[in-house]
Amino acid sequence: MIASLSDIHHPRPESSDNDNDPEPTPSKKPKKAQAKDDAPDDYVGYGRIIGRHPGPFVNVAAVIEYGCKADSAMSGDEEETDERLAEAWTILWKKFPGFHEYLLSISNKPVERRAIEKQLTIGMEAVRSEDTSTLKTRIPAWLHVDPTTPLNPALPNLTTYLEIAQGEKHVTGAQLPAFVFPLGQEFPIGEDLDHPAWEAVLDNALKGEVLLRSGKAMYMGPNSALEGEGFHKGRPGNASVIGLITFSRRTIAGVATQVYFGLSSKQEWYKTDGDHFNYEEFFWTIYDLFDNEEWGEEIICLWNQ
């Protein structure tokens, strides 16, 4: 059973009005009182375990607020279902026996609930930072089919590059970058988006070597990135630690988002890059590709290899 944080007592030092009171000895010096919404880090570990499952931008407080209302509502009082929040809510509690009931039990205890939300967020942000560190310095070595090839390719479309650099052409989170596709993918530039040639290109989305190598690095360990199917060496990878049995649309979208950030010049996580690109929008763009269920099953099978 999960212990309730409300049972934990935080002692406060007694106040004194006498300025001449002797300084307490080190062994008796009163400790600084703990803030009301602080709590032992019982649930930081929970956040670390589930952190990669819902995606890098999940708002824990919003998810718990939604879930508690949805699961405690009387019949007929249910609010309109938000599928994304409902999915994240299930991810949040499903791995931990008793956690669902516990969260519902503190739905009307805002101080205790904020403490849990804070700890979960700390754990989730920690694993996001670890994944960023794993990829940021390594991705450049994975940008060629042959990783021994020097990284000095000519820009295939200097005009487009200059237009982007000068702000004449905008890149948004609704667009799919080249790394989403296999290296060497040919794009029917100039054709309308409803042209059959583009459909063939979209069939190859999320099959890119850079993405697959990054997924291996994040979940199996960096040494696995350039190895064959199922390769693993050394201590258990993150997939084993967090109980990842199969990739999902969220975990794959999370890898893609990490890769986009890893290829950027940014060093700190923000939802936006410049005036037009939004990482959260990009995450959901990748997520929504899986609305094509048959194609989505094929992609997940590929990633699970």
Q: What is the pLDDT along the chain (305 residues), one digit of tens a residue?
A: 333 333 333 333 333 344 444 444 444 444 444 444 444 458 999 999 999 999 999 999 999 999 999 998 755 566 688 999 999 999 999 999 999 999 999 999 999 999 999 999 999 999 999 999 999 999 988 988 888 787 776 666 788 888 888 888 899 999 999 999 999 899 998 888 889 999 999 999 999 999 999 999 999 999 888 877 766 666 678 888 898 999 999 999 999 999 999 999 888 888 888 778 999 999 999 999 999 999 999 999 999 98
pLDDT of residue 210: 95
Rounded CA gap, 124 and 88, in Å? 13
Q: What is the DSSP code (8-state) at residue 153?
A: P
Q: Which residues, 6+ apart, have CB-to-CB distance to 115 below 8 Å?
A: 5, 37, 38, 39
pLDDT of residue 162: 87
pLDDT of residue 102: 94
pLDDT of residue 232: 60
pLDDT of residue 106: 94
pLDDT of residue 82: 93
Integer CA distances (angstroms), 217 to 97, 220, 255, in order: 30, 6, 10
Rounded CA gap, 68 and 104, in Å? 6
pLDDT of residue 73: 77
In terms of DSSP H, where are the helices of 169-266? 196-203, 209-219, 238-242, 249-263
3-state secondary structure of 270: coil
pLDDT of residue 118: 96
pLDDT of residue 90: 96
Query: How would DSSP label each residue in 51-113?
Result: TTTT-TT--HHHHHHHHHHHHHPPTT-PPPP-HHHHHHHHHHHHTSTTHHHHHHHTTT-HHHH
Indicate the pTM of the whole model: 0.81
Q: Give the type of residue at 250.
A: R
